Structures are given as structure tokens and as C-alpha cells.
Chains A and B, each alone.
Chain A
Amino acid sequence: MSLYLITVLTNVCLFSFIALSAYLILIVGEVSFGQQAFFGVGAYSLAIFYVYFDFSVVFSILFGMTICFFLALLLSLITIKLSGLYFAMATLAFAEIFRLSMNLIRFPIEKEDRATGLNGPEGFENIRWIFENNIDPLGFFYITLIILSILVIFLFVLERSFVMKNARIVGKDLILAQSLGISPRPYRVFFIGAAGAISGLGGGLFALANTYIEPAMFGMMLGVHSLAYTIIGGLGLPIGPLLGVLIDIGILESIRFLSEYRMIIFGGLVAIILIFYPEGIISPRIASRLKRLFFKKGL
């Protein structure tokens, strides 16, 4: 594989994490504009634990995920009364508060004669894990691919359990869920928390892959993109968001020769895809048809 292709595929894997986190929130029927914040919290906490405290990389990622989980839990608890646009705006406000405060915090240090550390809008430089351990781009791609596959397999297993089925009912129709005896709030809170943790995991890997992070990377565009991936891919199966990321980055890269008109074509194309597949390409209907094909007993 050429280096270019490896880089593109690594990016597909990394953005799949944030797309999966948007997917989990959409399943419980909410729309979040703020997943980029957890991506950013994951990236920054990895960088802080790894650079300032010399933790091992695995622990840094795990700590980052835990922080993201509890932050998301906190956010979902304070916004428990909100839904729809109100919830979306609350998450957006949260994400922007995170991003803007990262612009203000400066605490630069020098490590092995290299400037690093939190440095406001100039970002956090020199997270040198992949250089210190001599991991080439292909190796890093395999690492992210393996972690992503484990996550997707876990979500597939979860799909067969009652947790996911109940969550889907909560997302589809709140009143139906309540009349079936499903209490919506625990599902909502837990799924938002889990989405935060997944996003944080992706953010940690992103920081490792980039070796440099800055607050501007975690703007609103990233969050809305993650929503778009999920909506294009469909809410039927956990591979839907991955397909969305592939389509998005794939189309964008393949029409690179049209560079000037790229976004003009792409924007129109996405809108037209959504007209024909309003529930995404792997919609719940297609997903249940696929399930019947593979598991003869069906649901």
C-alpha cells in the first residue's frame, strides 16, 4: 500500500470512532452537536497524561476514556430534561466551552529539548509516542483497525441483546417505550456516556497519530460531520457509520482531480443520496432483512 492510501485509511478508522459515538446517541433518539468535545477531551487527556505525567500510553488512553465517560454522564444528567434542538444546542455549547477554554490554557514545558505542553491556540506539539516506539504508518493503521474491529464486534454482540433493542424503542417512540415498561432515562444517560467514552478513545488515537493537536481541530465542523457520516451510513447496523465515513472520505479523495469543484459536487451528492436513502444506506429495514438472511431464525 502506498503511504497516501495508508494515511487515508487511518483517517477513516479514526473518524469512525466519532461517527460511532454519534450513532449511539442517535439510537436513543437524540442529536448531539458536541461529540467533537469528547474527541478533543480524549486527545488532550492522552497528551497530558502521556507528556506531563509519563504514564504508559495504554493507561493514558484508558484514563482519557474514563474522563470522557464521566464528563458525558455529567452532561447527560444536567441536560436530562432537554430533547431535540435543546439538547443539540446544549451539547454544542458544552463543546464550544471546551474548545475555547483550551484556547486560553497555556502551560508549556520543555521535554528532551523539545517544546511541548498545553500552549493555547498554538496547540500541543510533540506527542512523540510513535517515534519513540518506531511505529511506522502501516503499523499504526493496524493498531487502530484492530481496536475499531473489537469495538464494532462488541456493538454487534450488543445489537443482539435486549439493551440495544430497548434503546432503539426509546429512540423511536418515547411513549411506546414507557408503556412497554422501559424506563427511558437510564438508557439515555448510559448511551450518552458510552458515546463519550468511544469518542474519547478515538480522540486519544487521533492525538497519537497526529503527534500534534490544537483546539481548532475540534470545532463544530467535526461534530456535524460525524452526524452526517452516521445519517448517510444509516442507523441499522454498527457498520453504517463506518460506511458513511468511507463514502465521505472516499468520494472526497476520489474526486480530488476536480479539486476546485470538489465540495460543490460533494454537497449536492450527499443531499441527493439523502433524498433516495432518507434513513441512510444501511437503514433499520435493510438491517433486519440482512439479519434474516444470515440468522435464519430472525429476530
Chain B
Amino acid sequence: MEFLQTCIDGLLFGSAYSLLALSFSLLFGVMKRINLAFGSTLLLSAVFSLWIDSVFSIGIFGIFLVMLGSSALINIYVEKLCFFPHRGNYGATVSMIASFAIWMQLDELSSFLLPERTASFPSFLPDSLFLIDIFIRIDQLFLFFIAIFMTCIFFYVLYKTNYGLLLRGVSFDRELAKKIGVNSNKITSFAFAFSGIFGAIAAFLILSTESQVTPFFGFWCTLKGLVAMMLGGIGSLPGAIIGGLVLGLIESNVINYLGAEYRDICTYLILLFILVVKPGGLMGSAILRDERAASERI
């Protein structure tokens, strides 16, 4: 029963990781690039919406909307400054470093808007516990279902709409997509805005279950999203979901059986092990050493 309880906790929390990993995976799929500034984008949008709220008192729904909008805009700013100028074949490392520089910038901006370091984030559900033999926090359960719902929307946009088709086309072969007349720059911006919105929803849910914002939230998002994505397998969207859930399961079990200080060590050990034994991740295709790997250099 204890094991079941731990697993349920892990799955509920892992759904948040899944959402982060999905947004990362989307960008990596389209751009073959890593956006290190992603977490701080989410942090800045959260802090910015709290700041707007403190000035105009827009309420929780207003905060949500401002977060979505600002996150999309900041993400497009990151794209224009870090990824658009380096979209050639060899720009992978450079764009990553540029996004790292922007990460510093955005983090500084958010600490500027959040001078007292920690702020409470409004939560929209009662923080009560209820019992069906095991404890489940209502807000986490809600987060879990929202995550499933969001994933459905995500897949709907990608596989059923016109934009999704174009996006997958650009992701599959950028040159070919250009030749048949797809405006790949516009699609890339769309992908950035979309992942920004998606990430902002994830961040909103996570923050309102935690009910506080700290300056470490940005770094935390980047790291957990990356690790969850790598566990599941790069570029595979189901992999990102499973990676997030697995990460949640690992963390909650390690905390329960070994103690909180071993949580991150075990996560990284498992990540290293999976990378060494099955480099493609749990769900990803086995990497082909030569051609694909060369073109997929960060």
C-alpha cells in the first residue's frame, strides 16, 4: 500500500514534468536546437504576471492570461535573438550559448521584478486531502487531468491542424519544406510561441500547486524538462510524456526509500545508465551514429 501511495504521488507529480518535457521536445523536434532559456522564460512570465497583478489586481484568471501572452512573446524574443540568426547548419552550439546568455538576462530581469526573492502564487483549488484508502491532493489530481487534457490538445494541434502539418513538415526536412513553399521562419516562430504557451500553462499549474515562486524555478524547469525529455527519448512526443512520468516515479520512490538527499543522484545515475545502455531513451529510436547523429548535433 505504501508502494502504491508512492507511485501515485510520483505519477501525479510526474505529469508536470511531462508537460515541460513536451514543450522541450517540440522545440527540439522542429529546430534541432536546445533552448536553455526556456525555464527562465517561464519564470519571467510568472513573475511579470504577478507584478501586473500587484499593480492592476487582475485576479487569477488575468494572471493566467498574462502569463500565456508574455511567455509566448518572450519566447519569440528568444527565438529572434538566439535562434533566427544561427539557423544554418553549424549554428547549433552557438544558438545554445546565445540562449544561455539570454537565460542570465531573463533571470536578472525576474529578480528585478521580484525583489523579495519569494512570492506567493495564487492557487485556485482548495489544498485539502481526501481519502480513498490513500491520500491524494486534489490540486495534484487536477494537475494530472489537466496534463492529460493538454496533451490531447497538443496532439490535436500537431496532427489534425494545418499548422501542425506544416510544423511536422519543417521538423522532418527543413530544406524540402522550403522548396514546396512553406515559410519555415514563420512556422518556427509559431512553434516557439506554441511551446511558450504550452510551457506557461504547465508552469501555471505547477506554481499554483506549489503556491509560491522562487528564483530557482527557471533553472528547475530547464533541468527537469531536459532530463525528462532525455529519459523518454529525444524527438518522440509519447517518449516525453513517459519520460516525465518515469522521472516522477523514480523521484518519489527514491525519496521514500532512500531519503531526499539521494533523489537527484539517483535520477542522474539512471539517466547516465539509460544514455549508455539505450542511447535513444526509453521510447526514442536507436540513434544512427553517422548521418543522423551528425545532423542532430545540438
Contacts and interface: CB of A to CB of B under 8 A. Distances in A.
A275 interface: yes
A231 B99 CA distance: 12
A275 B279 contact: no
Interface residues of B, number: 50
Interface of chain B, helix or strand or loop or mixed? helix
Interface string A54-95: 000000000000000000000000110111111011100110
Contacts of A143: none
B210 interface: no
A278 B97 CA distance: 10
Interface stretch (A5-13, A149-157, A158-166, A256-264): A256-264
Interface stretch (A42-50, A98-106, A130-138, A201-209): A98-106
A223 B41 CA distance: 21
A115 interface: no
A224 interface: yes
A85 B275 CA distance: 11
A130 B297 CA distance: 44
Given A85-B234, A271-B81, A26 B265 contact: no
Contacts, number: 141
A31 B93 contact: yes
Contacts of A278: 85-86, 91, 94
Contact of B289 (A83, A88, A89, A227): A83
A159 to B, nearest CB: 21
Given A81-B279, A89-B230, A270 B98 contact: yes
23 contacts: A84-B297, A85-B230, A86-B230, A86-B234, A86-B275, A86-B279, A89-B226, A94-B268, A100-B268, A101-B265, A104-B261, A104-B265, A173-B294, A174-B294, A227-B100, A228-B101, A261-B108, A267-B103, A271-B82, A274-B97, A274-B101, A275-B81, A278-B85
Given A84-B296, A93-B271, A175-B290, A228 B100 contact: yes
A84 B298 contact: yes
A241 interface: no
Given A81-B289, A85-B234, A97 B268 contact: yes
Interface in B129-185: none
B104 interface: yes
Given A83-B289, A268-B101, 4 more contacts: A85-B296, A262-B108, A267-B106, A275-B85
